[in-house]
Amino acid sequence: AELDLLGISDGMHRDVEKILITEEEIRMRLDVLAQKVLIDFADEEIVVVILLKGALVFAADMCRRLPVPMTVECLNVASYHGDIKSSGKVEFLDAKLPEVGGKKVLVLDDILDTGLTMRAVIDRLGELGAREVRGCVLLNKLKVRDVECEADYKAFDIEDEFVIGYGLDYRGRFRNLPYVGVMKSEVIE
């Protein structure tokens, strides 16, 4: 029975082809990234907007590295619908959007890919009256964006391939991997 338990805990790791960014690399890089954010956001209350669900793990680690007065909001946006390709449009799924009027806002997302999500969110928060909106992502895919959009802060540049872990999913799974990696091709349905 104990061996079975070990087998279960290994279950998610065995679907991983390779690890791109280790836990240790993430920790060290976030320490540096947080310092950069702090230089720009040091002296006033900020609103941190977390894009669910992908940015949850990244946001938990980033918020705790930003010792400034903040409120935390979450936004439910959809563009990927759990699969490996972008659907090309961004939907805001919340009945009520955060109150950001006059505020300085830091948007946290897991990854900048086509740029559609970050672009749509920054634009919408601007329409809601935010005084300034900056984007911060864990991963920056090196590719031509579908829309003009770059993050103000990014932890890692990566190649244009589908990644999982540290919040990023494939069909809802793998968000709990502590590192960023690539799936084995046989996992893709």
Write the binding mask 32 to 61 for Mg ion: x where contact by CB under 5 A, - elsewhere: ----------------------x-------
| Rounded (5°) CA angle 70-72-73 | 145
Residues 116, 130, 138, 177: which binds ligand 5GP (CB under 6 A)?
Answer: 116
The residues with which 108 forms a beta bridge, in sequence order, are 50, 136
Give the number of residues in contact with Mg ion, rule: CB under 5 A: 3
Q: Establish whether 10 is a catalytic residue.
A: no
Binding string to ligand 5GP for residues 121 to 150, with x set by CB under 6 A, is what?
------------------------------
CA distance 115 to 144: 9
Cα three-residue angle 12-114-167, rounded to 5 degrees: 25
- CA separation (Å) from 7 to 18, 25, 169, 184? 19, 27, 21, 18
Residue nearest to Mg ion (CB): 54
Residues that bind ligand 5GP (CB under 6 A): 54, 79-80, 86, 109-118, 162-164, 168-170
Q: What is the set of active-site residues?
A: 113
